[in-house]
Chain A
Amino acid sequence: MLIYVLKRIGLGIVIVVLAVSLLFLMIHMVPGDPARILLGPRATPEMIAHLSLKMGLDQPLFVQILKFFGNLLRGDLGMDVITNRPVAEIVFGQLPYTLWLIFTAITGAMIIGIPLGCYSALHRNSILDRITGIISVACITAPAFVVALYSLLIFAVWLRWFPAIGAGERGQFWDQVAHLVMPAFAIGLAWVGYLARLVRSSMLEVLGDNHIRTARAYGLPESTVVYRYALKLAVLPTVTVIGVGMGFLLSAALFTEIVFARPGIGKLIFDSITTRNYPVVMGSVLVSTIMFVISTTLSDLINAWLDPRIRAAL
């Protein structure tokens, strides 16, 4: 098991290295002077010269990559072109907003989706099951930003139940919560449907398994059979799905932040592109990618830990 953990983490690190290198190469593959491109049209000759030196543009590519990684490990993601602040500071300043949004969205989706899926499996073809089925499909079909637009339209513009813009006053807990509701809803809606379907089909499969028949043959109470035996197994795929879904969550968060004018990494990237603040764009994408890789690695590891069959096979 330990070997698997190390191997999996090792793989994660390799992927991060490769992804970062890819980003690095992308900057260099574009025709033109990388420093000029990175700094954009606002660049003054002094800034270009300074950055070129820092990136070591006169040196072979290999050395440049090493310098890049060296800077990365020291937490240096470059400097913001406009305000001249360290990119790392800007990115990590905005990151918590996105994390809160994602966390709220997925937790909400799990709290509603998993029991819904469980109920649907136990009461197949009941009214609630059918309604859930239809709503699940409906939820999945609209892209996150469309859901965001409609929630904005219905809840903020027409009904005026929730604020339309921003994250709320700092330090004001309930205000921030109020500002979280709709963005989290926009992201989480599709996931409710998706998780409900996943748990439903997973439960149905597990409930048909022979060992569930054995448990029933021993007269174990139905609640034990369903909740302790079946549900635990049925929920396993959810873990993997959420881990891999971090990518989708980040993308959905990006759109949601833009639609609701909410601070976060997504909005940061978008604003930075519009203002041609490329170091911030690159830095944000880099951080997001690393987060994604961490998430998938963690989910693989948790999955292996939860299922003793996988544990034994390692």
Chain B
Amino acid sequence: MKDVIRRVAADPLGLMGLCLVTLMVVSAVLAALIAPYDPIALNIMDRLQGPSWSHFLGTDQLGRDLFSRVLYGGQVALKVALVSTGVSLVIGTVLGMIAGFGPRWFDNVIMLFFDTIRSFPTVMFALATVALVGPSLSTVIIVIIVTQIPTYGRVVRTQTLTIKSSEFIKAEIVMGASTFRILTVHILPNVVGPLLILASMDIPTVIALEAGLSFLGMGVKPPTPSWGSILNDGYTLIRITPWPIIAGSIPLVLVTLGFTFLGESLRDQLDPKLRKSL
């Protein structure tokens, strides 16, 4: 593992990705320390200012400092990324392994389950859910978890199937290895690599999804800052000032770039057979 991290850091693409991701994580975790202002503190006197030394990204229509809001918005993004990716990864892996390794009928059931979830355009599914239970961050996270389970599940299933049919697994079974042992000792380590790459590529999607839903007002409740809600303010103010839009979009783009670079670098390091397409 350490070796992989070292190799990724040696690759310029990977290094940039690592830096961006670390920047995001650190700034989110330390938001309380770094942020110059309270993100929800109103200050009508200073509303709609452009960038300045006292307000790096300007202020919004209620005088709130945009830079601080962006930092705290990072906390929301981080929470969404970690929780939803973590949970859907675990559930997806378990289901994928069972589907790949277990009886055929079970595999068919799980695949149908995955396919059904995947048949919904994600945002619309999220909106349908929000329509029924009302907007909140938790709802968004749960919806994201549910829609991402098949993403991980399918990859794990494919890997499991491939490994299952290899000769040495057949030998292990003949020698009496238990299913649990095979799954944990043989299949799981082989699955970790592709999962890491997939997670890296998927996290930006997940963060963008939360941002999009918050942008629509279906995610975090005001006045909690989220990059999406900042963009929503920006949308309303578009003819007046561009700064909220810029403020909200910069972290989104940086985070997406960071994770994409990281994922590409991981893929190059973990599977040298795949040619770099960039």
Contact = CB atoms under 8 A, between A and B. Distances in A.
A19 B249 contact: no
B212 A143 contact: yes
A15 B112 contact: yes
Given A142-B249, A143-B208, A152 B238 contact: yes
A18 B116 CA distance: 6
Nearest to B256: A141
B239 interface: yes
A182 interface: no
A145 B231 contact: yes
Interface stretch (B54-62, B76-84, B98-106, B126-134): B126-134
B231 A133 contact: no
B249 A247 contact: no
A313 to B, nearest CB: 17
Contacts, number: 130
Contacts of A133: 278
A141 B253 contact: yes
Interface stretch (B4-12, B117-125, B157-165): B117-125
A273 B218 CA distance: 10
B122 A247 contact: yes
A157 interface: yes
Interface in B41-100: none
Contacts of B204: 141
B275 interface: yes
A251 B218 contact: no
Which DSSP category, helix, strand, loop or mixed, fits chain A's interface? Answer: helix
Contacts of B238: 149, 152-153, 157
Contact of A15 (B116, B125, B239, B253): B116
A153 B245 contact: yes
Interface residues of A, number: 54
A258 B72 CA distance: 26
Which DSSP category, helix, strand, loop or mixed, fits chain B's interface? Answer: helix
Contacts of B119: 15-16, 19, 289, 292-293, 296
B266 interface: no
A248 B242 CA distance: 27
A145 B123 CA distance: 12
A141 B275 contact: no
Given A141-B253, A141-B260, A273-B131, A201 B124 contact: no
A137 to B, nearest CB: 7
A300 B258 CA distance: 33
A149 B239 CA distance: 11
B166 interface: no
A47 interface: no
B189 to A, nearest CB: 28
Interface stretch (A20-28, A103-111, A173-181): A20-28
B268 to A, nearest CB: 13
A15 B245 CA distance: 39
A288 B121 contact: yes
19 contacts: A11-B115, A27-B132, A140-B260, A141-B260, A149-B249, A157-B238, A201-B277, A247-B120, A255-B123, A255-B216, A259-B235, A269-B124, A269-B127, A272-B131, A273-B130, A273-B131, A282-B131, A285-B124, A289-B119
Q: Give the 4 A-B CB pairs with smallest separation, nearest first.
A: A201-B277, A251-B123, A143-B208, A250-B121
Interface of B: 112, 115-116, 118-125, 127-133, 204, 208, 211-212, 215-216, 218, 231, 234-235, 238-239, 242, 245, 249, 252-253, 256-257, 260, 275, 277-278
